[in-house]
Chain A
Amino acid sequence: MVLAESGFSSPRNDAFPAGLRVLVVDDDPTWLKILEKMLKKCSYEVTTCCLAREALNLLRERKDGYDIVISDVNMPDMDGFKLLEHVGLEMDLPVIMMSVDGETSRVMKGVQHGACDYLLKPIRMKELRNIWQHVFRKKIHEVRDIESLEGFESIQMTRSGYDLFDDGHFLSGDDTTSGRKRKDADNKHDDRELSDPSSTKKARVVWTVDLHQKFVKAVNQIGFDKVGPKKILDLMNVPWLTRENVASHLQKYRLYLSRLQKESDIKNSFIGMKHSDLPSKDSTASFGPHKAMNMIPDDVPNGTYSFSASNSLAQNVDLKGQGDLKGITSAPVAEPKGALSIDIHDSHEAKSTQMSFDHSLGSVDSAVSFASFNSTTPLQYPWTEIPEIQFKQECEPLHLENGFSQLPLPGPSMIENEANRSRIEVKPLLDECRSNFVEHLGPVGAEDLFPIQSKSQSLNNQVFDLISATKSSMKTQDVGLNYLADSEFALRNLNASGVGVPLATLSEDLQICWLQGDCYPMNYGLQDLECSTYDNPGLMAETPFHLYDVLRFDHEHLFDPTEYYAIDQGLFA
């Protein structure tokens, strides 16, 4: 029998859509019971739960245990939309939203967050009967993402294609024809999986942080514009990964980035000067974890940056932030199409902001780190690219770069977004920063730092927003807002600390993000995150290194597990 391991291909799929595994989430016990009954009548396999958190746990425990999720919009422990995002990012399952409220704005929000359908209560059974189409559609799209079909696979497809779905009685009469077509496509998909020796896709791929980093790295290397599943797959060099896996992941990544962009845009618009008191905290910036400071202020966590308003948070942020930052950076990065050219043409969109931010942060960070460590190697990021992005931002942070040279900067507006396109600026800044910072942040004085800070802050904020956005999506918790808040904080802290943020890390992140635009902060690998050496003062010394890495757009530090985790914890709490 063709059906084997792949999501669709399991014994129960002989009579698809019968046996479709549905997870229903609703805090209303009456509806839960009714939906369960209706779905059972459709011959689906139903699991119910009344809490969003519980649902996420169930989904995570059995990554490949469900085909589709139906969730109410209003739930006590978590906003249905957040759950929706989490599921989409982590598990890539189709999610249907339900509500008794059918206001256009709500429905739109659902769609924006990735819902594949939005049902109004009271729900009729016939509406539930057809939910399998969403599962099917997703499969088909994943298949299409595959760049090429092997010849023999096609043959196999055709051969066994008709065996499946023989039992067409689940398709309504008029759907039979289209159903048949879909079936074939689906069979094709299944067949491909089965016949392709390299595809051992038995269960859903878990996109751990490491894996994702490899992915992002590959995307960056190829160039966001020219990226394609096969190229990515080849670069990633992960034997058990299939093109399909990469393709669907890429799709999500893109969506994710564009979502972050939007959010960062929004954030940027009101971020203003949130950071109120950060600077003081961070003067000691121990830049520790650079992590991809580039983008994410997280890098700051290294201690000085406590991004979050609270110092403690900041510390955590360092670790986490990095991750988050990365995430964020990715978001904004998404926009810039040019792979390496960080040309974030946008505007203040979160992206550019982020980018700039990242860069600026990066530069700041590097500068900072520099200062603190007196390293001689200026962060030589391959900023060339970055500058563009950074500058896009109207963010002042760009100034930072310039500012560095001046350190207390406000410096030349070169850094300003538009102007900043030139990479050169970045470099000079770094150098300057270096010289300026020689004394460490302390001596610089709060004011000195502040100017930069404000700039960086804006960047930070943006970055944070992005990070937050990223984080939220990544984290299962209601990270979204929290993240944003955290990121903002982090950013602020970053700013505050001046440029302590290890640029290296930031730049890396930034770079990566930019290039790819696909940074996809996934919290997938939260548990796998290993704390980078963010807290390590020694890191600062390594900054130049990191910077270098960043230049290479190496994502590796994109996600700072520790940061991630830390923040996550906070959020979950």
Chain B
Amino acid sequence: MDVVNQLQRQFIDYSASLHREGFLDDQFTQLQKLQDDNSPDFVVEVASLFFEDCEKLINNMARALEQQQGVDFKQVDASVHQLKGSSSSIGAMRVKDVCIAFRSFCEAQNREGCLRCLQQVTHEYSLLKNKLQTLFRLQQQILAAGGSIPVVE
């Protein structure tokens, strides 16, 4: 029980910090609430889908921006828009914020600006991925120790 309590406390603290630092917003909490007995791994599954989608979109953007003969900004913008939508699904606030800036650069057809944003987005995405993986690991540990995942409001 002690172990479980400790783990749970860790989990709560870590969750809170993620929220505080803007990595996750309320949407993530909503997802956690959706998780139930019917779908016990709901949050993890959603996160996996998000990571997959993210990687695909980032690759698309990178490819489009690499075009020497002329960048198709519409295409880049479309991908950014999709990424924005995706990040809103899981509550990835920081990723979403970069997307907003990214879109303005696309509109302005500013390749340099876009490349910078792409870098930022990639960075934010990696950070988030690591943090979520840590969180999920904690969750697993709690469950393995017989405890339940606390819901952080």
Contact = CB atoms under 8 A, between A and B. Distances in A.
A100 B84 contact: yes
A31 B31 contact: no
A29 B84 contact: no
Given A28-B89, A121-B89, A125-B30, A33 B81 contact: no
Given A28-B89, A121-B88, A33 B82 contact: no
Interface residues of A, number: 20
Nearest to A124: B30
Given A37-B39, A74-B81, A100-B84, A30 B89 contact: yes
A87 interface: no
Contacts of B39: 37
B30 A33 contact: no
B53 A41 contact: no
Interface in B26-65: 27, 30-31, 34, 36, 38-39, 42, 45-46, 49-50, 52-53
A147 interface: no
| B interface: dominant SS | helix
Given A37-B39, A37-B42, A124-B30, A30 B81 contact: no
B34 A30 contact: no
Contacts of A33: 45-46, 49
Interface in A88-109: 99-101
A42 to B, nearest CB: 11
B42 A30 contact: no
B139 interface: no
A273 B53 CA distance: 46
Contacts of B30: 122, 124-125
Given A34-B34, A37-B39, A122-B91, A74 B85 contact: yes
B81 A122 contact: no
A74 B77 CA distance: 12
B86 interface: yes
B90 interface: yes
B53 A100 contact: no
B46 A34 contact: yes
A31 B85 contact: yes
B98 to A, nearest CB: 14
Nearest to A38: B34
Given A122-B91, A125-B30, A125-B34, A28 B46 contact: no
Nearest to A29: B49
B13 to A, nearest CB: 25
Most B CB contacts (10 A, CB to CB) among A30, A34, A37, A72 go to: A30
A28 B39 CA distance: 20
A34 B31 contact: yes
Contacts of A101: 81
A101 B39 CA distance: 30
Contact of A30 (B36, B50, B78, B84): B50
Interface in B80-131: 81-82, 84-86, 88-91
Given A30-B49, A34-B34, A122-B30, 15 more contacts: A28-B53, A29-B52, A31-B85, A34-B31, A37-B39, A41-B34, A72-B85, A74-B78, A74-B81, A99-B85, A100-B85, A121-B89, A122-B88, A122-B89, A124-B30
Interface of B: 27, 30-31, 34, 36, 38-39, 42, 45-46, 49-50, 52-53, 78, 81-82, 84-86, 88-91
23 contacts: A27-B82, A28-B82, A29-B52, A29-B53, A30-B46, A30-B50, A30-B86, A30-B89, A30-B90, A37-B34, A37-B39, A37-B42, A38-B34, A41-B34, A72-B85, A74-B78, A100-B84, A100-B85, A101-B81, A122-B27, A122-B88, A122-B89, A125-B34
